Amino acid sequence: MSKKRIFALILIVVMLAAILTNPSKEEHEKIVRAKAEQLLKNQLHAKDKEFFGLGMQLFGNDIVDKFIQSSVVVDNYYLFSLTKIKWQGTEQIIGGGAFKHIWLSPKIDEKADEIIAALKKI
């Protein structure tokens, strides 16, 4: 077999693996939900963290779920997928996924105040 055929075969196998292991929308939402909860906890003062746990239990993560449903968009490009957040009329890419892994951008930490403000409006 020539080198071109071997390269093409390897490329096809990698692309097939990427398609089969692309994270689902639910997996992206799970990661964003965990990050939103972490951001909420970090934004609260130390004395309010006890109330946060109680509030999350009482409301069943309702605020975070509404935020995920209304603001998180996942674009599937078959080989990979992008996680975006809609707010203030724009979409901001905050992460990507491929091969069963999802990576969130450090931009989400920089934009924490805007995300918390969006959560409070819901």
User: Does position 2 have pLDDT exceeding 80, yes or no?
Assistant: yes
Question: What distance in Å separates the CA atoms of residue 53 and residue 112, rounded to the nearest whole number?
Answer: 19
Helix, strand, coil percent values for the chain (each to nearest 5): 60, 20, 20
Q: In this model, does residue 108 exceed pLDDT 70?
A: yes
- In this prediction, residue 106 has a pLDDT band, given cuts at 50, 70 and 90, of confident
Q: What is the pTM of this model?
A: 0.75
Is residue 101 very low, low, confident or very high in pLDDT (cuts 50, 70, 90)? very high
Residue 22, number of CB atoms within 10 A of its CB: 18
> To which residue do tokens 């490329």 refer?
11
